[in-house]
């Protein structure tokens, strides 16, 4: 069973925002007393918090799916929905947060540092909040937006001052157990240490931390042994302590050759940009196991060669604790010097200046994409994408409200500039998004659908009719009407059609006279 995990993938789902409410207040003698729909509550955020009491990512390895509560819907009588509860996720100090493409989002190096890794959705406004002097009784409300959903990577890089590096079974675990309260596994076979161990050491008034990294062997940079998998825990260390085994029984091995191999593997490890390479950091050498007589002789023999290379060398024994006090204070001195240097660098760092957005920043872009049936115009931006999510497309009034918001944002003018015409396909949002057949909004009868706002294609035609031309056209229409009336009269007199007045009013006078004559 795993007890130490330093790399996990979290599957996160933040809470969704609650929908706004459509409601009209009704009371005695006031059946329609105005809108009173409340707002929806916002969804809960997922927040990463750097906690010094957490040392591993094991909890997230066992349960990587984390979510927060949704916001409640709004209700009538101006009652707002409840907000989703924020959920904190504790991570160890030194945790690096990355997206799935490997881009670094944050480095959690300070206790209490917080990162909203998955923001919750925004609650929708009720019709009471949407009421205005021009829209006194809105028949719609805004929907709540979806919370962020996706995956992030957590990579733990141990925050320690000194890193112990060396061959397997060189005595690194015994050393950290001798100088601190850490109790790592210790055995007489290689690769006993399978994960980094941390120990806190006190040397006078200086307190520092020591990290025990699993042993390296020749070819570790090519994947042999445990490889360079755990060397990420060395990146943040101020100094390196090479623990060399002077009592090894392996043929062909000695402290000098072991050191050369370890230095080669450390040189093959790429550190992130802006950090000091591992071999450029302060390095000390501890010749271990001098409680064995042959090992003490070998340590005294190679000490001069190591000091000639510029290393501070200490002969130690983790069994008898010989030489540990001198090594302890030497490490504390190195760590304190590194802290002073870092403080000076921090003081010289330029201040972070947060500048507001420029005045002409529209907050969206229009991207033209080719399609099978012509160009597709895709609109990308935080506001338009959020507004589309908040719109109930089953409500015509809500769709009109969305059109007004998009027009005020200047999207129509940008579409005209991009070459869009009436009927063009417009998509708001990435991927499939929301697809529209664009119809420009008219603000006056002088504007034409085929022309951008502020222009009129009729002004391009400079030809104007004269008074005589308009008079001739008028008389021509009058003559045509007179000829049509005369033609209708001739057809009626010829009996081709009748008005029906004869049957309604009875026989005419001439018919009555003829009937009277026949009677006489």
Residues 207-259: tens digit of each pLDDT: 888 888 775 655 544 545 444 556 777 777 888 898 888 888 777 778 888 88
Instruction: Point out the least confidently predicted range of 115-119, 264-268, 402-406, 510-514.
Output: 510-514
Between residues 54 and 122, which one has the greater pLDDT?
122
pLDDT at 110 over 60: yes
Ligand-binding annotation for 191, yes or no, is yes
78 has binding-site annotation: no
- Is position 461 annotated in a ligand binding site? no
pLDDT digit string (tens) for 129-188? Answer: 999 888 888 889 999 999 999 999 998 887 778 888 888 777 888 888 888 876 655 545
3-state secondary structure of 483: helix
Report residue 446's pLDDT band, with 50, 70 and 90 as the boundaries.
Answer: very low
E strand or H helix at 455: none
Burial, 447: exposed, middle or buried (Cβ in 10 Å; 0-12, 13-18, 19+)?
Answer: middle
Q: Is 35 annotated as a binding residue?
A: no
Top pLDDT among 431 and 99 is at 99
Q: What is the pLDDT of residue 502?
A: 53
Residue 195 in marked binding region: yes
pLDDT for residue 347 is more than 80: no
Phi-psi region of 378 (alpha: psi -120 to 50; beta: other; left: phi over 0): beta
How confident is residue 500, by pLDDT bands cut at 50, 70 and 90?
Answer: low
Residue 456: predicted pLDDT: 47
What percentage of the chain exceeds 90 in pLDDT? 25
pLDDT at 448: 42
Instruction: Give the residue-averaged pLDDT of 116-125.
Output: 94
Question: Is the entire prediction scored with pTM above 0.75?
Answer: no
* 212 annotated as belonging to a binding site for a ligand: yes
What is the predicted pLDDT for the residue at 225?
47
- 47 a known binding residue? no
* DSSP symbols for 354-408: -PPPPTT--SEEEEEEEETTEEEEEEEEHHHHHHHHT--TT-HHHHHHHHHHHHH
Query: Taking 90 as the threshold, does the pLDDT of residue 43 lie above it?
Result: yes
Does the annotation flag 365 for ligand binding?
no
User: Is 317 annotated for ligand binding?
Assistant: yes
Name the residue with tokens 């990146």.
235
Under DSSP, is residue 426 helix (H, G, I), strand (E, B) or coil? strand
291 in a known ligand binding site: yes
pLDDT recorded at residue 189: 43
Residue 170 annotated as binding site: yes
Q: Does residue 77 have a known ligand-binding role?
A: no
Closest to 9 (Cα-Cα) out of 48, 86, 65: 65
Domains defined for the chain, CATH in brackets: 5-154 (2.70.210.12), 160-346 (3.40.50.300), 362-446 (3.30.300.350)
Question: Any known ligand binding at 168?
Answer: yes
359 band by pLDDT with thresholds 50, 70 and 90: low
pLDDT at 57: 87
Averaged pLDDT for residues 378-401: 90
- Of 74-83, 334-343, 496-505, which range is least confident? 496-505
- 172 in a known ligand binding site: yes
Asked whether residue 509 is marked as a ligand-binding residue, the answer is: no
Average pLDDT on 386-404 reads 90
pLDDT at residue 109 in the model: 84
| d(C-alpha 46, C-alpha 85), whole Å | 9
Q: What is the average pLDDT across 300-322?
A: 89
Q: How confident is the prediction for the chain on average, in pLDDT?
A: 81
Q: Which of 395, 241, 386 is CA-nearest to residue 326?
A: 241
For residue 314, what are the β-bridge partners?
A: 286
215 marked among binding-site residues = yes
Q: Note the pLDDT of residue 483.
A: 92
User: For position 423, what pLDDT does the model report?
Assistant: 84
């Amino acid at each position: 069973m795993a007890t130490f995990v330093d790399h996990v993938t979290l599957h996160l789902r933040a809470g969704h925002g609650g929908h706004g409410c459509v409601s009209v207040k009704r009371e005695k003698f006031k059946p329609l007393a105005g809108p009173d729909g409340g707002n929806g509550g916002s969804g809960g955020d997922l927040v990463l918090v750097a906690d010094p009491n957490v040392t591993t990512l094991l909890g997230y390895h066992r349960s990587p799916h984390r979510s927060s509560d949704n916001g409640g819907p709004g209700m009538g009588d101006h009652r707002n929905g409840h907000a989703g509860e924020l959920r904190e996720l504790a991570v160890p100090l030194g945790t690096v947060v990355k997206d799935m493409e490997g881009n670094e989002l944050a480095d959690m190096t300070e206790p209490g540092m917080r990162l909203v890794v998955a923001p919750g959705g925004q609650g929708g406004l009720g019709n009471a909040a949407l009421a205005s002097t021009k829209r006194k009784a809105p028949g719609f409300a805004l929907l709540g937006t979806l919370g962020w959903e996706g995956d992030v990577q957590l990579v733990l890089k141990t925050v320690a001052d000194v890193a112990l590096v060396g061959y397997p079974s060189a005595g690194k675990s015994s050393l950290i157990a001798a100088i601190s309260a850490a109790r790592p596994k210790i055995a007489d076979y290689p690769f006993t240490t399978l994960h980094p161990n941390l120990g806190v050491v006190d040397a006078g008034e200086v307190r520092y931390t020591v990290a025990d990294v699993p042993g390296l062997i020749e070819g570790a940079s090519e994947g042999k042994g445990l490889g360079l998998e755990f060397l990420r825990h060395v990146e943040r260390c101020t100094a390196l302590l090479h623990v060399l085994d002077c009592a090894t029984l392996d043929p062909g091995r000695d402290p000098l050759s072991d050191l050369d191999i370890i230095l080669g593997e450390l040189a093959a490890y790429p550190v992130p940009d802006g950090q000091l390479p591992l071999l450029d950091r302060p390095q000390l050498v501890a010749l271990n196991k001098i409680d064995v007589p042959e090992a003490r002789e070998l340590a005294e023999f190679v000490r001069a060669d190591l000091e000639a290379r510029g290393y501070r060398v200490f002969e130690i024994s983790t069994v008898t604790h010989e030489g540990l006090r001198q090594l302890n204070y030497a490490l504390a001195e190195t760590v304190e010097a590194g802290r002073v240097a870092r403080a000076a660098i921090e003081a010289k760092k330029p201040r972070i200046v947060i500048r507001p957005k420029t005045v002409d920043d529209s907050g969206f872009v229009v991207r033209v994409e080719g399609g099978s049936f012509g160009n597709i115009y895709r609109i990308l931006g935080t506001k338009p994408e959020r507004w589309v999510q908040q719109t109930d497309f089953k409500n015509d009034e809500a769709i009109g409200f969305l059109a007004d918001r998009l027009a005020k944002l200047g999207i129509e003018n940008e579409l005209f500039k991009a070459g869009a015409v009436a009927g063009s396909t417009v998509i708001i949002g990435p991927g499939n998004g929301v697809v529209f057949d664009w119809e420009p909004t008219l603000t006056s009868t002088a504007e034409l659908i085929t022309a951008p706002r502020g222009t009129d294609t009729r002004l391009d035609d400079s030809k104007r009719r004269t008074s005589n031309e308009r008079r001739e056209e008028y008389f021509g229409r009058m003559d045509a009407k007179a000829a049509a009336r005369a033609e209708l009269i001739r057809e009626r007199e010829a009996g081709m059609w009748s008005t029906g007045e004869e049957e309604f009013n009875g026989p005419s006078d001439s018919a009555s006279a003829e009937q009277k004559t026949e009677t006489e």
